[in-house]
């Protein structure tokens, strides 16, 4: 049988088919590479999303921990109340911790938060008030607002007589002084009542009464260590 001679036309056709096959192979390879790249990107994005979700779940806000690190004033009180209100609406009766590291500030503004915390407790929230650094002046009073009062070992509590400024006529100044004394009595009652309860629960070995508190803070800044605060009933726990 005579040998088939490949014509030039057939050679061109075969070469064209071969190039077409190579092109299709390159296209398939490129598509496979793109698919793998897209898959890798999708995995990275999925991991990032899962990590962001884990970080959110581990965050202070998700776990109802509020760090109060400013002076006590209308703005800082409003921010704290707004956050507590949000938690109350999203998760009624959830446990909440308010951690104070504050130099204190306005008594009137501070008492707004004090009363608000009492309302949260009546709604079924267990409120922990705690301290890292210091709870000074009004922040020390706010520390008494929680169901459980916690101070970290190297933190300090500062309490002292109520401070007010007064100006105007003699009568106006006397009225302001009288008002300040009435507020101070309320503050002393808050401390004395919590000390008494701590003594009854057994967390305080030597709970202070109102007279002792008044004598110790009179005309001075009274800095109290975590150990003494626990012993006297000003806190319930050292963390």
* Per-position pLDDT tens, the chain of length 239: 556 666 777 666 767 777 777 777 788 787 777 777 777 777 777 666 666 666 665 567 889 999 999 999 999 999 999 999 999 999 999 999 999 999 999 999 999 999 999 999 999 999 999 999 999 999 999 999 999 999 999 999 999 887 665 556 766 667 777 877 888 899 999 999 999 999 999 999 999 999 999 888 877 789 999 999 999 999 999 99
Q: For residue 150, what are its two tokens?
A: 């916690």
Q: Which of 164, 191, 182 is nearest to 107 (CA)?
A: 164
Residue 57: CB atoms within 10 A of its CB come to 9
State residue 169 phi and psi, 5-degree precision. Answer: -70, 165
Report the predicted TM-score, pTM, of the whole model to 2 decimal places.
0.76
Alpha carbon distance 230, 149 (integer Å) = 10
What is the C-alpha separation between 167 and 124, in angstroms, rounded? 43
Diameter over CA atoms, the chain: 136
Residue 20 pLDDT: 76
Question: What is the predicted pLDDT for the residue at 198?
Answer: 96
d(CA 187, CA 71) in angstroms, rounded, equals 18
Tokens of 205: 């070995």
The H or E element containing residue 102 is strand 96-102
Helix-helix angle 107-122:74-90, to 10 degrees: 10
Neighbouring residues of 238: CB distance < 8 A, sequence distance ≥ 6 = 150, 151, 152, 153, 226, 227, 230
CB–CB of 197/146 below 8 Å? no
Residues in the chain: 239
Give me the domains of the chain, ranges plus CATH numbers: 60-238 (3.90.226.10)
């Amino acid at each position: 049988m005579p040998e088939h001679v490949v014509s030039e036309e057939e050679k061109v056709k075969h070469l064209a088919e071969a190039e077409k096959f190579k092109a299709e192979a390159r296209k398939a390879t490129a598509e496979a590479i793109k698919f793998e790249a897209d898959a890798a990107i999708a995995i990275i994005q999925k991991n990032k999303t899962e990590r962001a979700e884990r970080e959110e779940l581990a965050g202070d806000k998700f776990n109802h921990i509020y760090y109060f690190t400013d002076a006590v004033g209308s703005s800082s009180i409003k921010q704290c109340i707004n956050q507590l209100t949000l938690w109350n609406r999203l998760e009624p009766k959830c446990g909440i911790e308010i951690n104070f590291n504050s130099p204190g500030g306005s008594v009137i503004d501070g008492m707004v938060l004090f009363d608000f915390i009492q309302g949260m407790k009546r709604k079924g929230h267990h409120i922990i008030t705690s301290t890292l650094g210091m709870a000074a002046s009004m922040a020390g009073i706010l520390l008494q607002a929680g169901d459980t009062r916690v101070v970290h070992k190297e933190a300090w509590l500062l309490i002292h007589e109520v401070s007010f400024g007064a100006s105007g006529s003699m009568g106006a100044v006397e009225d302001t002084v009288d008002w300040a004394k009435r507020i101070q009595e309320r503050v002393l009652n808050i401390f004395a009542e919590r000390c008494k309860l701590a003594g009854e629960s057994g967390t305080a070995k030597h709970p202070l009464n109102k007279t002792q508190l008044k004598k110790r803070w009179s005309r001075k800044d009274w800095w109290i260590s975590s150990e003494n605060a626990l012993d006297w009933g000003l806190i319930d726990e050292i963390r």
